[in-house]
Amino acid sequence: MRHIMPSDAEAVLKRILEGRGCPAVHAVIVAHEIVCNSLEGTYSHGINRFPRLVRNIEEGIIDMEAEPVLERWMGGIERYDGRCGFGIVNACICMDRAIELAETHGIGCVALRNTNHWFRAATYGYQACARGMAGICFTNTMPNMPTWGASDPRLGNNPLVFAFPWKDGDIVVDMAMSQYSYGALEVARLKGTKMPYPAGFDAEGNLTTDPEAVLASKRGLPIGYWKGAALSFALDIFAAALSLGNSTAVIRRQGNEYGLSQVFIAININAIAPREEIERIIEEAVSDLATSKPDGSGTPIVYPGQRRRTIRERNLAEGIPVDERVWDEIIALERT
């Protein structure tokens, strides 16, 4: 494992993007957000995923110059075409617009079609929190898990984010509809480790903790079994129908993950409730959670998002841990 300082990692990623014709303004955003994801502990959707992004550029899936275009609007809701741009750039722009709408209407909703993978879903929840707003966002994906009772993958694991700002550390839930994100499975495969709980099904239809078997079968285990499958389908319908974009069914027929549909919601919580009352409610809930009786497993009792600050501080001091093979691949990209 190699440790890379964030500024050094950003510089390398930016040079690689600009060397392939990426506008500087987009290269800065993309490189910064990718490194930030790893800096804050989401290694599966940070630097580890950068070589795949470059392959998507070379395959013509990503238009590096594109930004989303407004197609239709009414009050606090708008619809955009992402024009095959960077998923990170499109998502940042659309969440910014949802925040602007919420400043006027109390709530803002932006639906986005024809975009690409947005890397870490939580990024856009934190974006809302930084402006003092709550955020909800979700996306569909390529099919990578079966609906309940089926054996072939027809559902995406469709990440969903809930984010709420708090003075002691934002409360953020970032979850895929599969027990483990495919990025987490890929990290475990690189390390040669098993998952602590069943992650999906192998080729024979047996539950397994082997990430390699699940990646091969594309049969991730829905969270809550049939409940996760139902929620995945509902998120797909909401994202595709609100944006008039592709559903997972269409993405499956494409054979590759692009042309995704996403939704970004910002809620102006300070417009409807005194901030001191909101803080009191959160503090009471967090304090109660912290006094939970441990089950003996050694798992720390934390609220969602609590560990982010500790991981960030450690990685700022020591450097971001990056698998040697991944970093070697990235350095090779800089030479080509």
Rg from Cα positions in the chain: 20
Classify the C-alpha dihedral 212-12-175-293 as positive or negative: positive
Q: Is 45 designated active site?
A: yes
Dihedral (CA of 292, 294, 295, 297) sign? positive
Separation between Cα atoms, residue 220 and residue 294, nearest integer Å: 29
- Exposed, middle or buried, 112 (CB in 10 Å: 0-12/13-18/19+)? buried
Hey, what are 225's tokens?
């079994």
CA dihedral 144, 119, 133, 74 (to 10 degrees): -70
What is the distance between the alpha carbons of residues 308 and 304, in angstroms, rounded to a whole number? Answer: 9
Asked if 219 contacts 198 with a C-beta cutoff of 8 angstroms, the reply is no
Please give the full DSSP string across 283-298, using - where no structure is assigned.
Answer: HHHHHHHHTPPP-SS-
Q: What angle do CA 168, 171, 172 make, to 5 degrees?
A: 145
Give the integer Cα–Cα distance in Å for 270 and 113: 30
Query: Which candidate in 26, 32, 45, 105 is catalytic?
Result: 45
Q: How many Å apart are CA 10 and CA 163, to the nearest integer? A: 26
71 neighbors 80 (Cβ within 8 angstroms)? yes
- Asked whether the beta carbons of 117 and 37 are under 8 A apart, the reply is no
Amino acid in the structure at residue 21: G
Residue 172: enclosing H or E segment and its boundaries?
A: strand 171-175
DSSP assignment string, 107-151: EEEEEEEEE---S-THHHHHHHHHTT-EEEEEE--S--EEPTT-S
Task: Provide the token pair at 99.
Answer: 């925040």
Catalytic residues: 45
